[in-house]
Chains A and B, each alone.
Chain A
């Protein structure tokens, strides 16, 4: 762990903070209502300079509202925020907080250097060059050499560094990282965390909002759990472990049996649901893939962005161009793809119709089932939707509500329901539980399992090993456009063992191909 050396032990951090408590970010009684829905219910939170404060919580618990308020995107209805002992108006002093999103919010058409300068060009009519200070800053972030490249052409990780640079240039006091590394490679993530530690060491307030429990446990000095619009617990010291966070997040949820280990595996005699031969991507993201998936199986394709895994699963559903042979449920030919597969994208922006109700979203892919002579059968649509809502346990009092009224996890259940309702032979899901709380994750895995057991194949694209461990029967690691040998998930006793195997296969593939600019792994 590269950051370890530079982090003060957490006990020190606590001591420092005790002496200079007002120096940090202090939130008291923060309340926010959206109409009649309560998002924050008097949240208290303290973030001290010099530490990384992790923030964890299920979706819909108020985390995103907290981020929006701190970023000045929305106002609080009640409560107090102070920074360095002074009351802080997030609306007019928004410059003091830097929010680093998973998708950087920059100007893709401008160069890296121009991005750094936008908003601080000075009053001169002419475009100015970089100042010495700005050059130093870019050098520190290791982006000086590419200062003239258009932002759109540099990798995501670099864009995030530009975003950090923008904030440093305006001397922001609070750095809020919102799921910053969900699309980064391992190396890129480590670099990002090292920079977070450096920011904290420089005395800035650093908040890390993440669904990734392991990273919170590893990098945060303290972790605040946000549940139901309140900060219920702050874990630190001994209590700050992965198990501690996980337990804290499910506190109050219905007690469950320890997650039933998935031992159901389609027998060797099960029917072939999908077979790929010499399956090659139109733009070269994958090459010569041979794959055989049996009905009843859940197969995970694991790989970071750029590995070809995402393109591979999308090509199975016909949304990326693939050449070679594809056979679905015993019949060959690409003509089958449209009628026999369904895709649920990772991004709910592209899987749901925000102008339609929950129920209409669920039946949007249906045709003959909901019409008579071209006329809609509204009653039938509502009946199907209500049935799906109950089967998929979507928490909605009525299917006539706008889809936006649902939390992320429930929106995802609607998206999956809409894809399953056509009963595709092969169901393809990209990152099925991205941005979804733990409770909904389990339900989504259960739904996927039920659909597979019904005699269908489920193929998922995963970036996180815990998801593979909980959801899949077989996992293929994709690196550099090629498949590894399959990993049989039930053979691994715990998620760590599976993670080691996946990492080993990822490395192995990466040595042959190009490693993203940065440190090459030593063989």
Chain B
């Protein structure tokens, strides 16, 4: 009887707990949607008419968020499995420099240069994962170290020079066909002037979203990140999954680097070093837990959108970059505070 009463007792609140969870998720997603709406309203009111709230500006925001979003989607995988990657920004730099140097200086075909960049990214991800899983070194330390190794390699390979395929160094020739093909990766005449990079971003988001929310890979990634000890006893393939997460994270950084190179038309060795903050901020604002086990593609995408809107709005107001730093820092912390609050509602 006690058991039955207990069950009945639990049955009642059970439904409430379930709706409480739905409420928390709603608040979380709703929180970002509301924040995005607020930011749009505020900047629309503050900016000169027909600058912020326009279709053209919206397309610009989508393009400018795409780099951070693509890298952040990769980082989300690493965060969900309970690890940290601090090396993706440097990987971004190395990937663009490798493409540039192999293609322009060494005279490789562009396709081979791209393959080289992605191989390097896969290699870095594998090294990160190997040190984390085999030697049990915390990923914070591993990637702090490999990040610097990668940055050093970038400076070495590039000889700290800026590269532009249209203006190759003396004695080198870059086939115009390859330049056209490469630039077309990020510059295509699409209907409504939709930026090509936004399409790449949507494509990556769909893949990562499927992986995280609809696949066995994501299900187990969350289990491993939520409780590594239990995952080990349940014989989940922890090592394999951590390799996959780190490698995908590095390779998405390389993808973002390639697309930016193709869009801008030139590359310089410092590219990517300032990515660490906005990418982490997008993931955190998006609701992923640094403790592991929690994170979604749509959340990360929203986080990147919010940051891009703020940066774009402040730029239109000519607010100066320091204010942009203040605001994005504050928004990141506010997002975590909001998250704590919705978590406490669940209890």
Contacts and interface: CB of A to CB of B under 8 A. Distances in A.
24 contacts: A36-B12, A228-B6, A253-B3, A254-B3, A350-B229, A350-B233, A351-B230, A351-B233, A353-B293, A355-B226, A356-B226, A364-B234, A364-B236, A371-B215, A376-B214, A395-B3, A395-B10, A397-B10, A398-B15, A398-B18, A400-B18, A402-B21, A405-B17, A407-B10
Interface in B228-242: 229-236
A276 interface: no
Interface string B1-40: 1111111011111111110110000000000000000000
A355 B14 contact: no
B216 A365 contact: no
Interface in B278-297: 293-294
A350 B227 contact: yes
B83 to A, nearest CB: 15
Contact of A365 (B16, B214, B235): B235
A401 B19 CA distance: 10
Given A227-B2, A228-B5, A439-B2, 19 more contacts: A35-B17, A35-B20, A35-B347, A36-B16, A37-B10, A253-B2, A338-B235, A349-B227, A350-B233, A353-B227, A355-B294, A356-B226, A374-B217, A375-B214, A375-B216, A396-B10, A398-B18, A405-B10, A407-B6
Indicate the size class of the contact surface on chain A: 35 or more
Interface in A10-45: 34-38
A142 to B, nearest CB: 34
Interface residues of B, number: 43
Contacts of A521: none
B10, B21, B233 pick with most chain A CB within 10 angstroms: B233
Contacts, number: 121
Contacts of A60: 6
B167 interface: no
Contacts of A330: none
B223 interface: yes
A209 interface: no
Contacts of A227: 2
Interface in A329-364: 338, 343-345, 349-356, 360, 364
B63 interface: no
Contacts of A356: 222-223, 226
A353 B82 CA distance: 13
B219 A319 contact: no
B4, B20, B230 pick with most chain A CB within 10 angstroms: B230
Given A376-B219, A398-B14, A405-B14, A355 B293 contact: yes
Contacts of A406: 10
Contacts of B10: 37, 395-397, 405-407
Contacts of B294: 355
Contacts of A109: none
B6 A352 contact: no
Interface in A164-180: none
A252 interface: yes
A35 B12 CA distance: 11
Contacts of B347: 34-35
A514 B140 CA distance: 43
B216 A371 contact: yes
Interface in A213-243: 227-228
Contacts of A376: 214-216, 219
A371 B220 CA distance: 12
A329 to B, nearest CB: 18
A37 B231 CA distance: 30
A366 B12 CA distance: 30
Contact of B216 (A58, A370, A395, A418): A370
Nearest to A366: B216
B3 A319 contact: no
Contacts of A36: 12-13, 16-17
Interface in A374-408: 374-376, 395-398, 400-402, 405-407
Give the 8 A-B CB pairs with smallest separation, nearest first: A355-B226, A397-B14, A36-B13, A355-B293, A397-B11, A350-B229, A395-B7, A252-B2
A8 to B, nearest CB: 34
B7, B235, B293 pick with most chain A CB within 10 angstroms: B235
Interface in B188-202: none
B229 A349 contact: yes
A58 B3 CA distance: 10
A60 B13 CA distance: 14
B21 A353 contact: no
A319 B215 CA distance: 28
A353 B15 contact: no
A418 B234 contact: yes
A397 B15 contact: yes
A356 B224 CA distance: 11
Given A353-B227, A354-B226, A374-B217, A396 B14 contact: yes
A395 B210 CA distance: 32
A37 B13 CA distance: 6
A105 interface: no
B220 to A, nearest CB: 8
B18 A37 contact: no
A356 B220 CA distance: 10
A351 B210 CA distance: 27
Contacts of B234: 364-365, 418
B226 A353 contact: yes
A367 interface: yes
Contacts of A398: 14-15, 18
Nearest to A318: B235
B138 to A, nearest CB: 18
Nearest to B1: A252
B223 A364 contact: yes
Contact of A374 (B216, B222, B225): B216
A427 to B, nearest CB: 13
Contacts of A345: 233
Contacts of A353: 222-223, 226-227, 230-231, 293
Contacts of B293: 353, 355
A189 to B, nearest CB: 28
Contacts of A400: 18
B227 A355 contact: yes
Nearest to A38: B9
Nearest to A443: B3
B233 A401 contact: no
A95 to B, nearest CB: 27
Contact of B230 (A253, A352, A401): A352
Interface in B215-269: 215-217, 219-220, 222-223, 225-227, 229-236
Nearest to A378: B214
A350 B234 CA distance: 10
B215 A37 contact: no
Nearest to B14: A397
A34 B15 CA distance: 14
Nearest to A255: B1
A418 B232 CA distance: 14
A254 B1 contact: yes
A424 to B, nearest CB: 10
B340 to A, nearest CB: 16
Contacts of A370: 216
A49 to B, nearest CB: 32
A320 B72 CA distance: 38
Nearest to A254: B1
Nearest to B211: A374
